[in-house]
């Protein structure tokens, strides 16, 4: 099997034959366990596809407010987020939660919250 390159990050992924010869399969994945190069290419592309970023306004006025946002989001799980306290914005990435679920979670802080956009 010939080596394949990921179009998303230009990483080279090697097949089973190359692994048996002692060459690495690529960062973080063993292609030897996959049935074919096509699947490995698809998997590679999927790993590099970014989760959508949802931007929210949350009426935070102090560090206590931003700590409340951190608390509710950490309980939710499977989210990555950035809090911009001076601009009262929270950017959240999640594959498993809808915008409505994220908004409902942010409102559990007791602060006004609105969805602004998808980045």
Q: Which residues contact 1 (CB under 8 A, 6 or more apart)?
A: 14, 15, 16, 17, 18, 36, 37
* Look-up of token digits 């499977």: 78
Q: Any idea where the domains of the chain sit in the sequence?
A: 4-48, 53-118
CATH class of residue range 53-118: alpha beta
Q: Which tokens sit at 59?
A: 């009426």
Task: Indicate if the pLDDT at residue 102 is higher than 50.
Answer: yes
Torsions phi, psi of 94, nearest 5? -160, 135
pLDDT higher than threshold 60 for residue 90 = yes
Q: Among 12-26, 43-57, 89-103, name the one with the lowest average pLDDT.
A: 12-26
Residue tagged 């206590």 (tokens): 64
Percentage above 90 pLDDT, the chain: 53
- What are the angstrom distances between the C-alpha of 33 and each of 14, 24, 43, 59? 12, 13, 12, 49
- The whole-angstrom separation of Cα 73 and Cα 81 is 8
Cα dihedral 74, 77, 83, 89, rounded to 10, equals -120
């Amino acid at each position: 099997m010939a080596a394949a390159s990921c179009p998303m990050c230009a990483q080279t992924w090697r097949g089973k034959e190359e692994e048996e010869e002692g060459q690495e399969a690529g960062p973080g994945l063993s292609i030897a366990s996959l049935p074919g190069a096509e699947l490995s290419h698809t998997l590679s592309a999927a790993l590099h596809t970014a989760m959508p970023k949802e931007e929210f306004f949350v009426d935070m006025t102090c560090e206590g407010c931003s700590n409340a946002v951190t608390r509710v989001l950490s309980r939710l799980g499977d989210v990555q987020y950035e809090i911009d306290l001076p601009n009262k914005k929270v950017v959240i990435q999640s594959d498993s939660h809808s915008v409505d679920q994220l908004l409902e979670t942010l409102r559990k802080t007791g602060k006004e919250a609105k969805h602004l956009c998808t980045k």
